Structure 1
Amino acid sequence: LDRAAQTLCYVLSNRIIFYEAIRVRQPGLPKLAIPPRIADGEAAYKHFQRRFQQAVEATGDYEPLFHPQEQKDWAGPLIFRSPGALDAWRAVLRSVEGYNLRTVPHDVVGKIFQRLISPEERHKFGQHFTHEDVVDVINAFCIRRPDAVVLDPSCGSGSFLVRAYHRKAWLSEQPSAAPGEGRYHKSHQELLQEIFGCDIALFPAHLATLNLAARQIEKEENYPLIARRNFFDVDRGQPFCQVPGARVGKHREMRDVPVPEFHAIVGNPPYVRQELIPRRDQRAPVSQTKEYLQQLVSDAWPGLELSGRSDLHCYFWPAACRFLRDNGHFGFLTSSSWLDVEYGFPLQAWILCHFKLIAIIESTDEPWFEAARVKTCATILQRCRDEAKRMDNKVRFVRLKKPLAEILGERPNGDESARQRAADELRKLIEGTSKDYSDENLRIIVKSQRDLWDEGVAAARVIEGRKHAQPEMVSDGHRQRMSDYGGGKWGRYLRAPDFFFEIMREFGRQFVKLGEIAEVRSGVRSGCDGFFMPHDVTQWALSECPDPLSFKSRFGCRRDEVAACKLKIVKAGDGSVHPIESEYLAPEVHSLMVIDRPV
């Protein structure tokens, strides 16, 4: 309930600032003040709605942002009902009035919206701020032309979409992009009609709409194509979203926007562990259940069967690529775990069977999310139906040794051209590398896509005991089937030390895979990591309780035995602490985030 109330406050705050930004260009609009006669929440809410309706009528625009005619909105008035709420909102309005938004650049107004919500609250809403540098690099790989139609299926506050807006505008001004002689500058309306975003949550979708509309506040027909819905419900047979169309009286009729074929799909899908994805027998909308998601991707891509242990982001890949045109590009920033774990193997097979894997980029020097809890990587794909071209493709595994900002170099604040050129230069360096390369900024390991496929097929034969089985063949000698692929440990191409590759280049032919000379099988899976993988909190316990009596009372054992390392104090997954004999414990790695060297 508290989070819902905060969301409503954030949304109203955004509308207030947007109203004031419009008012400096529409002097006839009245100030947003709450008259003294208004003494209850219902009246205050209706007062704001009337003002927002006036803004829509004065501009002929912005109805999707203000929603002045919302029906059955029982929650809106709640933010005015608590004692002192009206006085607090009056103070907010006086504060906003003190700023001269006429002198504020449009892009700064957009940043105001983004900063209204703190990093802590963004985390609560499931939104992670993605730094513009990594967004620009992903967009540079995926958005190659000014008329590219772009989709972010989980757009959040719109980081990828806003940067896509700027990239497309910049591309349209390049001489090579001009449809005729001279340069061609795409209008604000043209750019908005080629950028699509979707988010299931109200506030992020609202924020993305505002961030895009704020690029040119004074323009008419300012309708960002943002759908506030579950992306897994999006289908070609239904409109992607609705925007105002022809004017009828004081209002506009809503116009359906169909789902197009996209040139580029980019984004940072939500990271939700598989345990938190509801099942069909739990109380949840059907289209958010694990069974529905598995069936959706299987129907869209026959042969693809994602594991029940897949994190939520894994379903976004195939679901989004249903709408990617041939030769279109795809770029996601996600957890890196799919590179090496079993639930990622079907995703690998799907990639190799339908795409050119252009590059996988990971940084060892910086997290790409604030308060990152997992390693992240950027994956770049290109849709390709030609198996021979896929097999011959060179895959670049890129390890960044420095912060991305240092690699991109100095770019004056506000110089959009410098930002785009720097991202393009890094893209060209990566794509132009045809053999292993390393310098002080990055390391690139180059593998053919055929090698990745062959390694995965060989792994399947060894693990499943099919050493003598032959994959189905066709006349050209190749026939890819996802079921033939076992899996690959792709993370080693990003994280293995240099000497590993030196040894393999020199002596690789003399090595054999362990599975070829010994039986390889899975170890014991407890299904209860919280119990079997506790955290050692011995040092914390000793410093917390220096007194022997209080130590024994709190932890159930003698302090001197713990200090002598006969016992350890461990913290289980449920947060409880327990003493256990040291001989029964062994060190283990909880997360790759704590590893900075081979172990």
Structure 2
Amino acid sequence: MDFAEVFYQKGGFDIVIGNPPYVRQELIAPPLENQENYSDDEWREIKKQYKEKLIQSVKNVWGNNIKIDKKSDLYVYFYYHGLSLLRPEGVFCFINSNSWLDVGYGAGLQEFLLKNMKPVFIIDNLKKRSFKQSDVNTVIVLIKRPFEKLNDFTLKFVSFKKPFEEVLNAEVIKKIERVDKPIFDDEDFRFYPKTKKELLEEGVEVPEKDELIKSDLEHLPYIGNKWGRKYLRSPEIYWTVMKKGRHKLVKLRELIKRINIKKSFIRKYFFFNTNSCKSIIICITPYHIRIFPLPHIPPSFP
């Protein structure tokens, strides 16, 4: 075992920093095998078996309860293995694709981080991509590995409005460390803090007819949330509408029981006004706010 003394003396590394490879799930394959040596069916089976080995390698470290979607990009596996190298209170920092914040396969990683780690910062840059040669939008993720599971903590979502080289300095970092409420109007960055309990509450699936009991958050099925769209990139008007309408807006899936709308048009962020549900539907996403008169059926949203 390499660096055995590090794990024997300290239980792992103080810091793990990485920029894992950007490989989409359909391209994941054994790195030492050549596709040209196999038929299409053989290559498909080889990739399938290799992906199963990747999943099992994570479960060997973190247990069989870990949820890994087979559609996960390769960098997701690097998260689990990289975090396993940390000592308690060690610091982990990755720069990688932001896709896991919003897509289905990211739900398992979100749940793992919330329930087992202490994610501290997720940092985006709205002005400039980190790598010119890569057609990938990236985020910087900073995580601590706690001594024991934490009941609550605050994850800070930060979106810089200027290139990193222009805005990253001691004064800006101190300002971010001091704030504890959403900021949209700062000239250098926007900031949105969310607690573990809030993120779990927004990401779990509550059984029908049951009310959400916060003490059950750790045990309810976690289905994921749009962390990137909501907390890093959504305009301020989205949060203004959501705040002012929090007692008047209801998720559209609750409306399906009352009026005849095809289920294929239901989206997680569709809402309607209970006082006028017979006349309009208000559809809200972090990118769109649209109003449709009934019985007009709203088009699908991106």
TM over 0.5: yes
1:488 counterpart = 2:239: no
Aligned equivalents of 1:264 and 1:478: distance in 2? 33
Q: For 1:321-336, list aligned pairs within 5 A.
A: 321-336=83-98
Structure 2 match to 1:402: 162
Structure 2 match to 1:265: 16
1:371 counterpart = 2:137: no
User: Structure 2: which 5+ runs fail to align?
Assistant: 34-41, 266-298
More deviation in 334-343 or 298-307?
298-307
Aligned to 1:320, what secondary structure does the other structure show?
helix
Q: Deviations over 1:347-385 (max 9, x none)?
A: 100011012221111111001012231211111112235
> CA 1:521/1:275 → structure 2, altered by over 3 Å: closer, same or farther?
farther
Aligned equivalents of 2:217 and 2:102: distance in 1? 24
Aligned equivalents of 2:141 and 2:112: distance in 1? 14
Structure 1 match to 2:174: 428
Q: Is the 8 A contact 2:120 2:156 kept in 1?
A: yes
Q: Which has the larger radius of gyration?
A: 1
Q: Aligned residues, how many? A: 249
Aligned equivalents of 1:456 and 1:479: distance in 2? 9
Aligned equivalents of 1:515 and 1:468: distance in 2? 13
Aligned equivalents of 1:332 and 1:266: distance in 2? 6
1:289 counterpart = 2:50: yes
* Consecutive aligned runs of 4 or more in structure 1 exceeding 6 Å deviation: 283-286, 519-523, 586-589
Structure 2 match to 1:208: none
Q: Is the 8 A contact 1:355 1:390 kept in 2?
A: no
Aligned equivalents of 1:405 and 1:305: distance in 2? 37
- 1:325 aligned partner, one-letter code: R
- The structure where strand makes up a greater share of residues is 2
> CA 1:372/1:522 → structure 2, altered by over 3 Å: closer, same or farther?
farther
> CA 1:308/1:285 → structure 2, altered by over 3 Å: closer, same or farther?
closer
User: Which of 456, 470, 477 is the matching residue for 2:215?
Assistant: 477
Give 1:437 deviation, angstroms.
Answer: 1.6
1:516 counterpart = 2:263: no
Give 1:405 deviation, angstroms.
Answer: 1.3
Aligned equivalents of 1:514 and 1:385: distance in 2? 41
> CA 1:301/1:370 → structure 2, altered by over 3 Å: closer, same or farther?
same
- 2:76 aligned partner, one-letter code: C
Give 1:289 deviation, angstroms.
Answer: 1.8
Structure 1 match to 2:289: none
Aligned-pair RMSD on alpha carbons?
A: 3.4
Structure 2 match to 1:149: none
Aligned to 1:304, what secondary structure does the other structure show?
coil
Aligned equivalents of 1:431 and 1:299: distance in 2? 37
Aligned equivalents of 2:6 and 2:231: distance in 1? 41
For CA contacts below 8 A with separation 6 or more, give which structure has more relative contact order: 2
User: Which of 51, 76, 99 is the matching residue for 1:314?
Assistant: 76
> CA 1:443/1:323 → structure 2, altered by over 3 Å: closer, same or farther?
same
Q: Is the 8 A contact 2:124 2:140 kept in 1?
A: yes
Give 1:268 deviation, angstroms.
Answer: 0.8
Give 1:400 deviation, angstroms.
Answer: 0.9
- The structure where helix makes up a greater share of residues is 1
> CA 1:289/1:478 → structure 2, altered by over 3 Å: closer, same or farther?
same
Q: Is the 8 A contact 2:197 2:217 kept in 1?
A: no
Q: TM-score normalized by structure 2? A: 0.72
> CA 1:515/1:381 → structure 2, altered by over 3 Å: closer, same or farther?
farther
User: Structure 1: which 5+ runs fail to align?
Assistant: 1-237, 241-255, 409-421, 524-585, 590-599
